[in-house]
Amino acid sequence: MAKHEEVKNGVIFPVGEKNEAYAQFFVGQSYLKSLIADPKVSVGVGNVTFEPGCRNNWHIHRDGFQFLLVTGGEGWYQEEGKPAQFLKAGDVIVTHDGVKHWHGAAKDSWFEHIAITAGTPEWLEPVSDEVYENATN
């Protein structure tokens, strides 16, 4: 049994549906509940839930930024060329414009964060198993 199983039912906000729209940019299964998707507001807000071991591809936010507000479980965040950061509920990450990074669940834990995003994401290559293993050990 994975740690933080309660996260799969949502911590603060509902888990949402399987993240089919962005599945090609993830290794493993994620879920997305859009919280703010107003075309008159240039910032999107979503609750993203990751099954154990799930992570998104390397990506860059162009002409914007991303804030991650960790609400449950355990996960990882890594910027290119830097060591990975272990994440738990209450942690906050600020990703600046143009910074290549990835984030996702720990191998043995569900993980959930609120993503507040402005700009356009540029999706890149998947995080290899080797990079993930090195980051999470």
Q: Count each helix (H run) and each strand (E run) in the chain, helices first.
A: 1, 10
Mean pLDDT score of the chain: 95
pTM over 0.75: yes
Q: What is the pLDDT of residues 69-127, one digit of tens each?
A: 999 999 999 999 999 999 999 999 999 999 999 999 999 999 999 999 999 999 999 99
C-alpha–C-alpha distance, residues 100 and 123, integer Å: 10
Query: What is the predicted pLDDT for the residue at 82?
Result: 95
Query: What is the predicted pLDDT for the residue at 37?
Result: 85
Q: What is the pLDDT of residues 22-67, one digit of tens each?
A: 999 999 999 999 999 898 998 999 999 999 999 999 999 999 999 9
Closest by alpha carbon to 61, among 102, 124, 132, 118? 118
Residue 3 has pLDDT above 90, yes or no: no
Q: What is the pLDDT of residues 59-72, one digit of tens each?
A: 999 999 999 999 99
